[in-house]
Amino acid sequence: MLYKKGFCDLGFAKLDIERKKRRGFSEVVFCSGKTRAQLKLIIKYLIKNKQDLLLTRLEKDDFVYLKRYFPGLKYNPLARLGYLNKRTPFKNTSYVVVISAGTSDIPVAEEAVGTLEVMGQRVIKIYDVGVAGVHRLMQYLDILRKARVIIVVAGMEGALASLVSGLVSCPVIAVPTSFGYGANFNGLSALLTMLNSCSPGVGVVNIDNGFGAGYLASLINKI
């Protein structure tokens, strides 16, 4: 292992230990495709360099293994997120709303929520309020209109993001999910619907990317 200017070279990975200075939060670890030995070493040197720790797409068995070496490690099984600590929420009163269209979309929504909480954001969750029963969403209109930014997580046809954007003045981050029947094409139909939103102010992240939505919402809410 070698320390170089701005990063820590582990051979198989180069940890960007200056990212926190640039972006306000440390490098986040995407766990899929990494071995347990690699994850263990990455976590060791992130902690050694006083970095924040957030692990995405962390499977339960891998968490159990890692917790033997890092007893403080916590886990959100629904979101598949591992982390050491949630930051104390910022003193500003602004908050992020995370909406799921259906119950099946909740794991992706929880990835966004977990990311936001680890990054110190205030979050309000509103789940299972999709367009098939839009009256459910209308019960929360006051909360929506006071939000700094809203994340909308939806599969099937993905229409909820446009609907929400038409009701509020803040930015809306749309997250298509891979949940749906055959013509959903594993989230592609929802992605295209969100990209073709006729309501301005909607930004779209990748399919099932709750982490990316949470990270972006955190940056917006800190402005």
- pLDDT string in tens for the chain (223-residue length): 566 678 888 889 999 999 988 888 999 999 999 999 999 999 999 999 999 999 999 999 999 999 999 999 999 999 999 999 877 666 667 999 999 999 999 999 999 999 999 999 999 999 999 988 999 999 999 999 999 999 999 998 889 999 999 999 999 999 999 988 888 899 999 999 999 998 999 999 999 999 999 999 999 998 8
pTM for the complete prediction? 0.91
What's the pLDDT score for residue 164? 96
Name the residue ranges covered by the structural domains of the chain: 2-83, 96-222
Contact 151, 176 (CB under 8 A): no
Q: Does domain 96-222 have CATH number 3.40.50.12280?
A: no
What's the pLDDT score for residue 151? 98
Q: How far apart are the first and last CA of the chain?
A: 37
Please give the single-letter amino acid code of residue 181: Y
Measuring CA to CA, which residue among 14, 48, 55, 4 is closest to residue 33? 55
Contact 124, 145 (CB under 8 A): no
Cα(96)–Cα(92) distance, integer angstroms:
12
Residues with Cβ within 8 Å of residue 204, at least 6 apart in sequence: 161, 173, 174, 175, 176, 191, 194, 195, 197
DSSP 131: G
